[in-house]
Amino acid sequence: MYFVKHYGVTMRCINVKHLNLTICFRRNTEIYRYNKGGAYADNSKIKDLIMLCCKENDDDAEEDSLRMQSLLETHNEPGTHEWKVQFCLYKQFIEFCVLNVVGKSRMKKMGENYADGVRETYEDAIKPTDEGFAMLCLEDRWRLWAKIAEKRAEEGGNDGTRSLENKDEDDQRERGDDNKVEPGTANLSKYSMYGIYNTQGKGFVPNRSMARLSEYRKKIKAFRETENGKKMNDEIRDWWGKKYKGPKMKMKRVVDDITLGTDDEGDAFDDADF
């Protein structure tokens, strides 16, 4: 089961092959704050990520290209302005997207209070499939989430913290005067919830969705093998480890103080009857 929260969005996915989703908006969504502009947008915790998602999911975006590839740029030299921008973007992606795919219980093991033999590497805590699924969700749902935030702002008396009245927020398909959806009409999503490639169902369309997830996974694996990718993952681990340290007290590695004197003693121990 995947359990994902994006920008105040809670998304539960049960059955990975079909990716059936339940989504609800929580209080003060980041997209709504960003859309208000001015200081609200400047203070958004994921301003850079929102800008990237809006750019890569607009109507002019090349349909077959993978989204979020600015995260996987390999030509930025560590220490340069471009690398720092990429690092900032990656931190937002990890904290507000990937965290909720992986879960805190696994990611906390990157905390610096864990002993060297216990503390997990970035690669151990976060798998390419985890990052890939987060990217897939952003591609699938971004335009839908943006439209919902926009409609909330238009609804009288709604400060963005409440669901739209008398409407299934996830279903933004156009309806006629009789409030019925025209056959074949697509939602603003892509792979799920009556989206462009799945007009007949709510869950992710299996074949196309899994193929897309596989593409993301391959790109992420390739990025991790580059010097920039290794540096990025190490820096993310150190940043996360300082922010979420793990245990309150520094853990020490436990070493067994029992030593076998000879090989014969070891053999006797292995052969003993208990």
pLDDT (tens digit per residue) in 150-198 = 888 788 777 666 777 767 788 888 888 888 888 878 999 999 889 999 8
Say what percent of the chain tops pLDDT 90. 35
Asked if the model's pLDDT at residue 125 lies above 80, the reply is yes
- pLDDT recorded at residue 249: 66
C-alpha separations of 99 from 25, 126, 179 in Å: 17, 9, 38
> Token pair of 201, please?
């169902």
- pLDDT recorded at residue 252: 60
Backbone CA torsion sign across 75, 78, 79, 84: positive
For residues 3-20, give the mean pLDDT: 37
- pLDDT recorded at residue 93: 93
Tens-digit pLDDT profile for residues 49-59: 989 998 888 87
C-alpha separations of 192 from 15, 49, 51, 178 in Å: 14, 22, 23, 25
Q: Which residue would you say has higher pLDDT here, 37 or 190?
A: 190
Tens-digit pLDDT profile for residues 204-242: 888 899 999 999 999 999 999 999 999 999 999 999 999
- pLDDT recorded at residue 250: 67
Task: Specify which residues 98 forms β-bridges with.
Answer: none
- pLDDT recorded at residue 251: 60
Calpha distance 55→73 (Å, rounded): 16
Calpha distance 117→113 (Å, rounded): 11
Give 148-154 contacts, CB < 8 A, sequence gap 24+: 148/25, 148/172, 149/29, 149/31, 149/32, 149/35, 150/35, 152/25, 152/32, 153/32, 153/35, 153/36
Asked if the model's pLDDT at residue 129 lies above 90, the reply is yes
β-strand 2-6 against 9-14: which pairing, if any? Answer: antiparallel
pTM: 0.79
Q: In 52-62, which positions are buried (b, 16+ CB within 10 angstroms) versus exposed (e)?
A: bbeebbeeeee
- pLDDT recorded at residue 166: 62
Q: Which of 75, 199, 197 is nearest to 136 (CA)?
A: 197
Tens-digit pLDDT profile for residues 79-115: 999 999 999 999 999 988 898 888 888 999 999 998 8
Calpha distance 158→85 (Å, rounded): 34
Q: What's the chain's average pLDDT?
A: 79
Give the angle 49-53-57 at the CA atoms, nearest 5°. 175
For residues 251-274, give the mean pLDDT: 45
Task: Specify which residues 13 forms β-bridges with.
Answer: 2, 21
Q: Which of 233, 64, 204 is nearest to 56 (CA)?
A: 64
Lowest mean pLDDT among 2-11, 201-210, 239-248, 256-265: 2-11
